[in-house]
């Protein structure tokens, strides 16, 4: 379980997170919605351990980030553009990432690439991919190690309608596997179809939780 307690973060003079309190249970999909600058991505970064809170804490399965652990131990992340290196094939990219934790086999890598609708044997470098294919590649990168926590920022951006359907199915499968998915999205359909709970954020605070 992920627990965010009284999370406060200020950048310059702007309070990007204003005392957020949230709990995320395992095996559920949580949608984050809100306008640009509402704090959705910053909340994802806080959960990923990429920012240090001014006040409050994030704990994952009882382990407090930046006190007990530097980063969540089992995390898949799609939070930025350029999630994969453009000068390598997607398979090579994932193989390089896999060397760090050494949990993903070549078979798992190939399976993840197929699940996002791409071909493991594709010899093209990622820079030759279309925008939608790059987004699929980024999703493959987030799921290929079968992490317990998956953080996604606008995961269906630039993906065609058919592709969006299969990506949604993929997230459903990840949820059934027991992964906790936090997904920031501006797409109401993504949120209504996938999320067990939708959290609306506004100006760094939780405005509403449905």
Which listed residue (8, 50, 108, 193) binds another protein by CB under 8 A?
A: 50
Q: Is 141 among the residues that bind another protein (CB under 8 A)?
A: yes
Shortest Å distance, C-beta 48 to another protein: 6
Residues 153-192: x where in contact with another protein by CB under 8 A, - otherwise, as a string: x------------------------------x--------
63 touches another protein (CB under 8 A): no
How many residues of this chain interact with another protein, rule: CB under 8 A?
A: 38
Distance of CA 96 to the CA centre of its chain: 19
CB crowding 156-179: b at 16 or more within 10 Å, else e:
bbebeeebbeebbebbeebbeeeb
C-beta of 128 vs 169, nearer to another protein: 128
Q: Rule CB under 8 A: say whether 67 interacts with another protein.
A: no
Provide the residue count of the chain: 210
Backbone φ/ψ region at 205: left (φ over 0), alpha (ψ -120 to 50), beta: beta
Calculate the alpha carbon distances from 26 to 49, 68, 182 in Å: 18, 20, 11
Rounded Cα distance between 178 and 163, Å, is: 23
For residues 134 and 175, which CB has a smaller minimum distance to another protein in the complex? Answer: 134
68 binding another protein? (CB under 8 A)? no
HEC-encoded secondary structure of 101-137:
HCCCCHHHHHHHHHHCCCCCCCCCCHHHCCHHHHHHH
**Choices 92-100, 156-164, 166-174, 175-183; region in contact with another protein by CB under 8 A:** 92-100
Measured from the Cβ of residue 120, the count of other Cβ atoms closer than 10 Å reads 17
Q: Mark 5-44 with x for binding to another protein (rule: CB under 8 A) and - for no binding.
A: ------x----x-------------------xxxxxxx--
Helix 131-143 × helix 106-115 angle, to 10°: 140
Residue 107 engages another protein in binding (rule: CB under 8 A): no
Per-residue tokens: 101: 């934790």
Q: Of 66-74, 114-122, 165-173, 192-200, which part binds another protein (CB under 8 A)?
A: 66-74
Give residues in contact with another protein (CB under 8 A).
11, 16, 36-42, 45, 48-52, 66, 70-72, 75, 77-85, 87, 93, 97, 100-101, 138, 141, 153, 184
């Amino acid at each position: 379980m992920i627990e965010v307690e009284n999370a406060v973060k200020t950048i310059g003079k702007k309070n990007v997170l204003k005392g957020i309190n949230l709990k995320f249970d395992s095996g559920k999909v949580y949608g984050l919605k809100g306008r640009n600058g509402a704090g959705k991505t910053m909340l994802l970064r806080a959960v990923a351990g990429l920012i240090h809170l001014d006040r409050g804490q994030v704990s994952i399965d009882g382990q407090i980030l930046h006190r007990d652990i530097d980063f969540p131990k089992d995390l898949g992340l799609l939070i930025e553009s350029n999630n994969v290196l453009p000068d390598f094939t997607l398979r090579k990219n994932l193989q390089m990432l896999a060397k760090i934790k050494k949990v993903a086999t070549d078979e798992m890598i190939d399976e993840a690439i197929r699940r996002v609708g791409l071909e493991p044997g594709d010899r093209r470098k990622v820079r030759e991919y279309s925008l939608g294919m790059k987004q699929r590649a980024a999703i493959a990168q987030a799921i290929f190690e079968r992490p317990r926590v998956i953080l996604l920022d606008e995961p269906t951006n630039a993906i065609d309608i058919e592709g969006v359907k299969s990506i949604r199915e993929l997230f459903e499968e990840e949820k059934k596997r027991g992964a906790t998915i936090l997904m920031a999205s501006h797409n109401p359909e993504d949120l209504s179809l996938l999320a067990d709970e939708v959290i609306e954020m506004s100006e760094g605070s939780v405005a509403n939780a449905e």
